[in-house]
Amino acid sequence: MKRESLDYVLVPLGLALMAGYHAWLLLRIRRRPSTTVIGVNAINRRIWVRHIMQDSSGKHAVLAVQTIRNNIMASTLLASTAITLSSLIAILMSTNGGGLLPDAPLVVGATGESALSAKFFAILVCFLIAFLLDVQSIRYYTHAGLLVNVPLRRRRRRSPGLAVDYVTATLNRGSYFWSLGVRAFYFSCPVFLWLFGPIPMFAACVAMVCVLYFLDVCEDWAEEEDDDDDGEGRHHSGSDGTSVEVKV
């Protein structure tokens, strides 16, 4: 078997493994959100938004702005890092890889100029996607920073719950885009190891899936849920003792 054949087998297999894991994670978030970190965070963000907006004194307004500002700073850092790395990768591609990784015996797999360009292009795509996702995250966080400080008494009396739902959805979208941007950074690690051959790339995909499973699954919160709760909407007690229905 030619060593170039390993790229046609291990690389698609590693990508399929990563894609399959995230498809499973998305299905679990939709059906059993309280068993995932992303779902638990979405539930608590809804409780937090209702707590902030129902406070008529406005004493939590500064806390809300500071919290969302910290999220904006985190997204800005990732976006700046992603666009900087994208520029560096583009420079390397314009110089034909800068003489990196020649036909070395330790690199098992395709090592030609076309293969090297394809590998650099894959890394570039990961960082560009991360940049775009983090920019969208900043956009939604900026909207949420304004909306969360609008008091419910200024809304129509018959629809205060709709205001909380809209602000929660805006804040959650910002968090989802931020999480996807982080996933793009995670995904770039196996793609970067592809420069050293398909075997390190596939091994990195397997290791990444194992690590992400322990980072994404949260069983402790699910054990505290009532047995009669369904997987789409759950009721939690708010700070004022009222029942809060949470949807992910």
pLDDT tens for each residue of 78-96: 999 999 999 988 888 777 6
Among 39, 79, 73, 77, smallest CA distance to 142 is for 73
pLDDT tens for each residue of 1-39: 466 677 788 899 999 999 999 999 999 999 998 899 999
Q: Which of 44-53, 143-152, 153-162, 229-238 has the lowest mean pLDDT?
A: 229-238
Identify the three-state secondary structure at position 245.
Answer: strand
**Cα distance between residue 17 and residue 14, in whole Å:** 5
**Cα distance between residue 36 and residue 18, in whole Å:** 17
Residue 12 pLDDT: 92
Cβ-based neighbours of 241, under 8 Å, separated by 6 or more? none
Residue 240 pLDDT: 42
